[in-house]
Amino acid sequence: MKNKTSKKKELSELVSILSNNITIYLIDISNLNSNQISILRKNFYEHSIKMRMVKNTLLKKAINKINDQKWNSFFSILNGNTTVLFSNLNVTNITSKIIKNFHVQEKTDKPYLKGAYAQESFYFDGGNKDLNILLHLKSKEDLIIEILNILQFSIKEIILSFLNSTKFKIGEILETLSKKEG
């Protein structure tokens, strides 16, 4: 049995995980063997995603300690086996790809997604239906880059059409001026 000091430390670490990471997945890895869990852990680690098994009661205490209502929505999915995946990087797509690839390689539907916090939004699944949504979720930075590329293309087209139409006008003006001088 853990002593109070280690429980407080563990609670403090969970509060820190929830407060300081921008990508958090709650998954169920029950019925996976130790070799499969090791493969998952290694794949996540390669992309700066940490994996930690937690007790639901401790996770609920951490959510209460944060005192932010948005996290309360996780309460409904905190049952059974819960493993937390977390990163302070925007790894939403990568996390989903690792899970999807694992499903294919191991011919299993585990781990399954219980819920996620990514791109400042919550996703609740209770299976793997929303995993595809998270797989194709674009970051704000990616969306801004796409918009800027579209605008850049449009601006180039506008400038080129302006230059093409004014090129003849400038040529006509220069020709007219040269005729007046001569």
Given a contact cutoff of 8 angstroms between Cβ atoms, the answer to whether 73 and 124 are in contact is yes
Cβ count near 85 (within 10 Å): 25
Closest CA to 123 of 102, 152, 92: 92
Tokens of 151: 């605008």
Please write the tens of the pLDDT for every residue from 112-137: 889 888 877 787 765 666 677 777 66
- Give pLDDT, residue 112: 86
Please write the tens of the pLDDT for every residue from 39-73: 999 999 999 999 999 999 999 999 988 877 778 88
Q: Is the pLDDT of residue 89 over 80?
A: yes
Location of structure tokens 């407080």: 8
d(CA 41, CA 111): 12
The residue type found at 102 is: F
Burial of 144 per CB tally in 10 Å (0-12, 13-18, 19+): exposed
